[in-house]
Structure 1
Amino acid sequence: MGTVTPLPFAGRTAPLQTGFERPELLRILDLYGRMVAAGHWRDYAMDFHRDAAIFSAFRRAAERPEYRIEKRPALRNRQGMWALVSEAGAILKRGDELSNVLAPVERKLMKLVAD
């Protein structure tokens, strides 16, 4: 019989790109759609890098994003892989659950709808 040569997989390699899974993206786009309907957001952008996936929401296309929702899987066991970052770059909320990280924006949406 022939010889079997093992494949040279030394270990698990890092992915070439980090992305959002379908339920995560649906949750984010649902919030985005409600903010658009309230007249607060008008544009968005998504960036996919090796270590992070970033969803940015804009009030106007020519400005810096009002919020960035970042997914960094490398921080899963430390601070949580989800982060909500403000326009100034300050981290507003960090955690393991996307719904908890989106809570400040959800509260803001409730105030916008109530007004």
Structure 2
Amino acid sequence: MAERSNGAEDGDGSAMLIPLHEARRDRERLPVRFDRRELDQILKIYGRMVAANEWRDYAIDHLQDRAVFSVFRRTSEVPLFQIVKDPKLARKQGAYSVVAATGLILKRGHELARVLNVFDRHLKLVHA
């Protein structure tokens, strides 16, 4: 009969058993983060917009339920855009979205690269 180790080493000291429910619970406590690939894509767009003198500053927030990359024209202002990763929406409309300063969702999707395409066309303020 096999002996349960509850996170302790096996008899020969070669393996650790961690109950699946404990691993899930530990992972759920961590804040949502952008991984390296996602940050590379975001910072590529950010660099291009800084070079075009459109953006000047950014902030990254890793919250319990979502990660937010905010871009600013000036540090003292509200963000022009927010790039949001919300894993709870991954199976529905997509985990990634770009939100304007007004709260309007400009684009949402499952793939970050496609969502970031919203910045490929030059967004301008239109006066009526």
What is the aligned partner in structure 2 of residue 20 from structure 1? 34
What is the aligned partner in structure 2 of residue 6 from structure 1? 6
Identical amino acids, percent of aligned pairs: 46
Rg comparison, structure with higher value: 2
Q: Which has the higher contact order (CA 8 A, sep 6+)?
A: 1
Distance 1:50 1:37, change over 3 A: same
Answering whether residue 95 of structure 2 is matched by residue 49 of structure 1, we say: no
Q: Deviation at 1:23?
A: 0.9
Name the CA distance, whole Å, in 1 between partners of 2:20 and 2:33: 24
Q: Deviation at 1:38?
A: 0.4
Answering whether residue 106 of structure 2 is matched by residue 92 of structure 1, we say: yes
What RMSD over aligned residues (CA atoms) do the two structures have, in Å?
2.0
* Unpaired runs of at least 5, structure 1: none
What is the aligned partner in structure 1 of residue 94 from structure 2? 80
3-state SS of the aligned residue for 2:44? helix
What is the aligned partner in structure 2 of residue 103 from structure 1? 117
Q: Deviation at 1:29?
A: 0.5
3-state SS of the aligned residue for 1:107? coil
Name the CA distance, whole Å, in 2 between partners of 1:55 and 1:35: 14
Structure 1 counterpart of 2:108, which letter?
Answer: R
Count, aligned residues? 109
Q: Deviation at 1:102?
A: 0.9
Structure 2 counterpart of 1:36, which letter?
Answer: V
Distance 1:40 1:74, change over 3 A: same
